[in-house]
């Protein structure tokens, strides 16, 4: 099968002066993930590598540049899911964690649990060689000014063996309560992969959870609906249910889609036809 990767940098409303920086960021992430696929690597390795690029890029709401809690702290949510085995690893509300997708991958590999939360997750993280970010290291001026938005970063991929994987990472919503968990680390909400497709969502987490957005898309794909129509219908249902904004990237065996309800969602991809990027494909 032809490998493909799609990366998003969060659904939202972004000032025009930031557009090019966001597009540059998602392009770099897609290229990093695709290099792994092109070398025969797995979809799982590719999505983790792509999301790590965006966690380290201060333009995005994940890792460095995360949205802050109302206490002015950073608490990370992330998940990674391997469609071929249905293994998933996730972390939520973990303070001072700059590499949340990598820790989620460790949870997946350990295989004992699916989701570790809060400060206690540092016990496992420490055993796996992770260290808390130094005080203030993940906090940017943009986040301090509460401009990070509800963005999230994510990647979905299909590898040459026809396996699918998804990864999502976020600082969550601006001024969230400490301890709040959004959609990103929850299977079937912000992140999903199975033997037919992979999905990473972005937008208002509570609405995505109520809509079980990623799983809705996966169920439609299992019924034979293409990735764009499956995502469009699930997003329209979310909008009707909650009135809030969201977006999703989806890949299956037939192709991929990246669509959102919000004004923008920076997206980059590399597939059999080459590389590309844009600021979104809005659901009418
Ligand atoms: N979609 C990101 C969040 O609400 O946490």
β-strand pairing of 115-117 with 87-95: parallel
152 included as an active-site residue: yes
Overall average pLDDT of the 220-247 stretch: 98
| Ligand 1 atom 4, closest CA | 205
Chain segment 187-203, per-residue pLDDT in tens? 999 999 999 999 999 99
Contact 203, 246 (CB under 8 A): yes
Q: CA-CA distance, 232 to 221, in Å (whole number)?
A: 12
To test the pocket of ligand 1, the residue of 179, 203, 242, 261 to mutate (highest count of ligand atoms within 8 Å of its CB) is 203
What are the sequence ranges of the domains in the chain?
A: 4-85+139-278
Kindly report the pTM of this predicted structure: 0.98
Q: What are the residue ranges of helices labelled H in the chain?
A: 19-38, 43-55, 100-110, 121-127, 141-144, 205-211, 213-222, 227-242
β-strand pairing of 267-271 with 4-8: antiparallel
Task: Name the pLDDT band for 275 (thresholds 50, 70, 90).
Answer: very high
Task: Name the pLDDT band for 150 (thresholds 50, 70, 90).
Answer: low
Residue 14 confidence (pLDDT) above 90: no
202 lines ligand 1 (CB under 6 A): yes
Active-site residue (options: 152, 168, 202, 264): 152
Q: Which fold has domain 4-85+139-278?
A: 3.60.20
Overall average pLDDT of the 43-52 stretch: 98
Overall average pLDDT of the 105-130 stretch: 98
Residue 111 CA to ligand 1 center (angstroms) comes to 25
């Amino acid at each position: 099968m032809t490998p493909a990767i799609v990366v998003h940098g969060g659904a939202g409303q972004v000032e025009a002066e930031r557009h090019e920086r966001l597009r540059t960021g998602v392009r770099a992430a897609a290229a990093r993930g695709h290099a792994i696929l092109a070398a025969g690597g797995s979809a799982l390795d590719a999505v983790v590598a792509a999301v790590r690029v965006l966690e380290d890029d201060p333009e995005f709401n994940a890792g460095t540049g995360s949205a802050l809690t109302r206490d002015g702290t950073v608490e990370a949510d992330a998940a990674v899911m391997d469609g071929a085995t249905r293994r998933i690893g996730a972390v939520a509300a973990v303070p001072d964690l700059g590499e949340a997708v990598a820790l989620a991958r460790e949870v997946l590999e350990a295989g004992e649990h699916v989701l570790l939360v809060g400060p206690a997750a540092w016990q496992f993280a420490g055993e796996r060689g992770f260290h808390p970010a130094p005080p203030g290291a993940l906090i940017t001026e943009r986040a301090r000014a509460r401009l990070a938005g509800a963005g999230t970063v994510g990647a979905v991929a299909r590898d040459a063996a026809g396996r699918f994987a998804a990864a999502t990472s976020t600082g969550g919503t601006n001024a969230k309560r400490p301890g709040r968990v959004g959609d990103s680390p929850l299977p079937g909400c912000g992140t999903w992969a199975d033997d037919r497709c992979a999905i990473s969502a972005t937008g208002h987490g509570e609405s995505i959870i109520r809509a079980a957005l990623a799983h809705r898309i996966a169920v439609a794909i299992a019924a034979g609906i293409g990735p764009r129509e499956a995502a469009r219908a699930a997003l329209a249902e979310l909008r009707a249910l909650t009135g809030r904004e969201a977006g999703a990237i989806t890949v299956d065996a037939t192709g991929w889609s990246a669509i959102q309800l919000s004004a923008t969602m920076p997206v980059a991809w590399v597939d059999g036809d080459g590389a590309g990027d844009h600021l979104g494909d809005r659901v009418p």
